[in-house]
A and B are shown apart, each in its own frame.
Chain A
Amino acid sequence: EVQLVESGGGWVQPGGSLRLSCAASGFTFSSYEMNWVRQAPGKGLEWVSYISSSGNTIYYADSVRGRFSISRDNAKSSLDLQMNSLRAEDTAVYYCATPAILTGTEFDYWGQGTLVTVSS
C-alpha cells in the first residue's frame, strides 16, 4: 500500500523556521517526482515546490522562492521542506504528493497533510 506521511508541522512565530518531512512507502520512491502543495484555511490548493526523481531539478512557487528549500533522500524514501523566514500567509496544511500531473497516469498519492501555523 502506498503511503505518504508528513510530519514536522506546528506553531511558529513570524520569521521563524520549520522543517517538514514526508516518509514514503509502498512504491519505488526514487523513481517518482514529488511535490509539496499547501492549502491555507478555507482557501484553495497552492503548489509550493517540485523536485525531480533524482533531486537534480527543483522548482519553487514565487511566493516561497528564496525562503523554502526542498530536498529528498532516496535511500531513506523521504522528502523534506525546509521553511525559513516564515510569514503569517504561510499558515496552511502542507501536503506531500506525487500527483498524476507529474506521473501522467492514475498514480496519484497525497499524504494526510500537516498543519503549519505562523502567528505571534
Chain B
Amino acid sequence: QSALTQPPSASGTPGQRVTISCSGSSSNIGSHHVYWYQQLPGTAPKLLIYRNDQRPSGVPDRFSGSKSGTSASLAISGLRSEDEADYYCAGWDNSLSGVVFGGGTKLTVL
C-alpha cells in the first residue's frame, strides 16, 4: 500500500480537462513539495511538475499542478491521445526518511 493515494484510473475525451488526485499525510505532502511524473510503456518516468506547480522546460502548459494541505492534484487540459500514460505523484516522507510514490493512475484517452 502506497503512502500516497491516487485513483487507479482516469479517462477523458480529446480536448477535455482531466484531474488526478494525490492524497498523503502530514509527513509527506503536508511537509514537502509534490512532484508528478508521466510514464509511457517501457520507458523511464518523465518529470511533469516539480515543487507542487512548476513545469520543467519543454513540458506543455496544458499540464498544471497544485497542492493544498496534505493533498495535491495534476490537471491536464486540452487532452490529447499522446497523454495516454501512467501518472505518478511523489515526494519525500519524513517518517520513512525516503521518497514515496503514489500507486499510479492510468489515464485513458477515449
Counting chain B CB atoms within 10 Å of each CB, the highest count among A59, A60, A100 belongs to A100
B2 proximal to A (CB < 8 A): yes
Residues in chain A within 8 A of chain B (CB atoms): 35, 37, 44-47, 50, 59-62, 95, 97, 99-102, 104-106, 108, 110-113
> Pick the contact of A47 from B50, B51, B100 — CB < 8 Å?
B100
Residue pair B102, A44 in contact (C-beta under 8 Å): yes
B65 proximal to A (CB < 8 A): no
Binds A, one of B17-25, B74-82, B90-98: B90-98
Q: How far is the CA of A101 from the CA of B90 in the complex (A)?
A: 8
CB-nearest residue of chain A relative to B102? A44
Residue pair B99, A100 in contact (C-beta under 8 Å): no
For residue A98, give the distance in angstroms from its CB to the closest CB of chain B. Answer: 11
Residue pair A113, B44 in contact (C-beta under 8 Å): yes
